[in-house]
Amino acid sequence: MDGHHQKQKNKYSIIVPTYNERLNIGLIVYLIFKHLGPDGTQDVVKQLQQVYGEDRILLRARPRKLGLGTAYIHGMKHASGNFVVIMDADLSHHPKYLPSFIRKQSETGADIVTGTRYVKGGGVHGWNLMRKLTSRGANVLAQTLLWPGVSDLTGSFRLYRKSVLEDIISCCVSKGYVFQMEMIVRASRKGYHIEEVPITFVDRVFGSSKLGGSEIVEYLKA
């Protein structure tokens, strides 16, 4: 099929794991629709459903915080698109990059398109020196030990072919933030076609980071 008809055929589901993101969720949903559409967290989502429609915004609550990896799995069970986008709810992943992800996949036929901070055109804003060193150190360590073939292992702003995401997740054993690294490494080992899009990561404006010492320890163990 030509590019025009292929673009009409594809459907994209966006998974946005949330925990204490009441101040951000309304804006991130608005921005997603602004850049792709015509233009308590759960309470805000319910209000947004009245605006955009319950068929377009699905709220699939869980009883408590159960980990990022299991949140992806939970979200994927309800994703109806043949492509799935995973992004954060704290506005560090700006929806303005979504058209670039979709375009890159359409042009290359990639199984995964991942956003990267560590190539020309990418970057980070709002982090102090320690946070930058932690992220860089985590990537250098993983690059040295695992040779994944991508420049940004710890980023989580990605577009997946749904069948590929289902295959990768079925192999993963991690539950926390290291889940992101494990998914891209396993995808590389399986020979899936991975492309990168430069993004600028901007630190959250509202709320606090969920990344703590225990997550760093779990990352090193994994």
Spatial separation of the C-alpha atoms in residues 38 and 89, rounded to whole Å: 21
165 band by pLDDT with thresholds 50, 70 and 90: very high
User: What pLDDT shows up at residue 209?
Assistant: 60
| Residue 135 structural domain | 12-221
Spatial separation of the C-alpha atoms in residues 73 and 70, rounded to whole Å: 5
Residue 99, domain member (yes or no): yes
User: What pLDDT shows up at residue 116?
Assistant: 94
Residue 4, domain member (yes or no): no
Instruction: Tell me, rounded to whole angstroms, the distance of Cα 121 from its chain centroid.
Output: 19
Q: What CATH number is given to the structural domain containing 82?
A: 3.90.550.10
Residue 102, domain member (yes or no): yes
Name the pTM for this structure: 0.80
Quick: pLDDT tens for 48-67: 888 888 888 888 888 887 77
Quick: pLDDT tens for 77-93: 889 999 999 998 888 89
User: What pLDDT shows up at residue 206?
Assistant: 57
Residue 17, domain member (yes or no): yes
Residue 1, domain member (yes or no): no
Res. 2: pLDDT tops 50: no
Q: Are 28 and 95 in contact (CB under 8 A)?
A: yes
In this structure, are strands 12-15 and 123-125 parallel, antiparallel, or unpaired? unpaired
